[in-house]
Amino acid sequence: CDLKFDDQEKQMKYDTISFNKIRDEINKLE
């Protein structure tokens, strides 16, 4: 269970990083 939760946490962090990268790219276009 702990391992699964850890993976979930990593996934959330990765999603957040990806979102920030995409947002940065969009800001550059504006």
| pLDDT tens for each residue of the chain, 30 residues long | 566 768 888 888 888 999 999 999 999 988
Q: Under DSSP, is residue 29 helix (H, G, I), strand (E, B) or coil?
A: helix
> What pLDDT sits at residue 2?
65
5 CB burial (10 A radius; 0-12, 13-18, 19+)? exposed
pLDDT for the residue 3: 65
The overall pTM is greater than 0.85: no
